[in-house]
Structure 1
Amino acid sequence: MSRIGKKPVAIPAGVSANIADGVLSVKGPKGALTLTLRDEISYAVDGDTILVKPANDTKQARAFWGMQRTLVSNLITGVTEGYTKTLQITGVGYRATAQGKVLKLQLGYSHDVNFDVPEGIEIKTPDNTTVLISGIDKQKVGQVAAEIRRWRKPEPYKGKGIKYAGEFIFRKEGKKK
């Protein structure tokens, strides 16, 4: 039995959920999101909650149960509060500036990196070394953060690069004399 899957997902005021043709649609103050439903799991909108249960007693249905409940919960959180990831840039001369729908990164390469911001994502740079990525889709926000981080991962000797806020970089000792 899934401890996470057993819990019903609460639908707050101002949010509407609808199941039609194998798709769960959620609309809220920040926007609308959809989730394609799995056949192994049964979903029910019951007043102000969404119930997620396995449709049968197979191993695959039990495996998907908790994950599907979490995905439904992520939809509700996304349309009410949204998601934000913070990236920190460390290194001499490394900086980022948001210019409309393009994030301009200077990461020690011979050229500037221009990252096109996808639809539904908003990027802000409160200062040269901080990048705030926000949106309503948790998966898309995380994917964009990972793609930006991939341009210059933090290295273990000086810690230079792009890292998530709160990420610990294991530091190695340099060469001994």
Structure 2
Amino acid sequence: MSRVGRRPIEVPKGVKIVVSEGKFTAEGPKGHVTQALLDGFPVKVDNGVVTVGRSGESGPERAKHGLMRALLSNAVVGVSEGFSQGLEITGVGYKAELRGSEVHFALGYSHPVVFKVPEGIKIEIEKAVKIMVTGADRQLLGQVCAEIRRLRPPDPYKGKGIKFTGEVIRRKVGKAGAK
């Protein structure tokens, strides 16, 4: 059996789990997350513990067993504690501003860039250059952060752009040129 897939998932107090028709739904204080279940992986909920079984022993089934357990664990942790990711904007005149459910970016283009915040994601902006993205769905959170970063990826020569908090940008040396 998969070592990851074998481990049971502890359900914290205040989190409600519903398993029905190929769907796993977790509801808690931070929101709700629905995860589609793969065929051949029965999910059981007993006394606040979720276990994931599997029908076969082939290599791909063992790998998917661990994947299924990790996805369900992320759903439970997301609705109880939530996930967050920070982004930093570097560059002269680069900034972000939250207007309702949209984030307006000034990123050195000739026009402002507007990013619509999807439902289930919360964005906080501090000092116009630090963005904190939070949400219960880990996959959606990662996708939103990647889309925001893609608006202006960090430049390897000057370091301008949007990067993840703690991300190290490898800097390149410019051409020697005439002095």
Superposed displacement of residue 53, structure 1 = 2.3
Q: Which residue of 2 aligns with 1:155?
A: 155
Cross-structure match for 1:89? 89
Q: Taking structure 2 as the reference length, what is the TM-score of the superposition?
A: 0.94
Bigger Cα displacement from structure 2, 84-93 vs 29-38: 29-38
Aligned length: 177
TM-score under structure 1 length normalisation = 0.95
Aligned letter for 1:121? I
1:59 maps to 59
Q: Say which SS state the counterpart of residue 104 (structure 1) adopts.
A: strand
Q: Which whole-Å CA distance do the structure 1 matches of 2:16 and 2:47 have between them?
A: 10
1:40–1:60 Cα contact (<8 Å) kept: no
Once the two structures are TM-superposed, the CA of residue 58 in structure 1 deviates from its matched residue by: 2.4
CA positional deviation for 1:135:
1.1
Segments of 4+ moved more than 4 angstroms: none
Report the 3-state secondary structure (helix = DSSP H, G, I; strand = E; otherwise coil) of the residue aligned with 1:54: coil
Checking the alignment, whether the CA contact within 8 Å between 2:85 and 2:132 is kept in structure 1 is: yes
Cα distance change of structure 1 residues 58 and 40 upon mapping to structure 2, 3 Å threshold: farther
Distance 2:29 2:93 in 1: 40
Q: Report the Cα distance in structure 1 between the residues aligned to 2:32 and 2:73, rounded to whole angstroms.
A: 14
Does the Cα contact within 8 Å between 1:39 and 1:55 map onto a contact in 2? Answer: no
User: Which amino acid in structure 1 is aligned with residue 36 of structure 2?
Assistant: T
Q: Quote the residue 1:29 is aligned against.
A: 29
**1:105-134 superposed Cα distances (whole Å, 9 cap, x missing partner):** 000000110111111111110111111111
* Counterpart residue identity of residue 62, structure 2: R
SS of residue in 1 equivalent to 2:53: strand
Query: In structure 1, how many angstroms separate the alpha carbons of the residues matched to 2:95 and 2:116?
Result: 16
The corresponding residue for 2:127 is 127
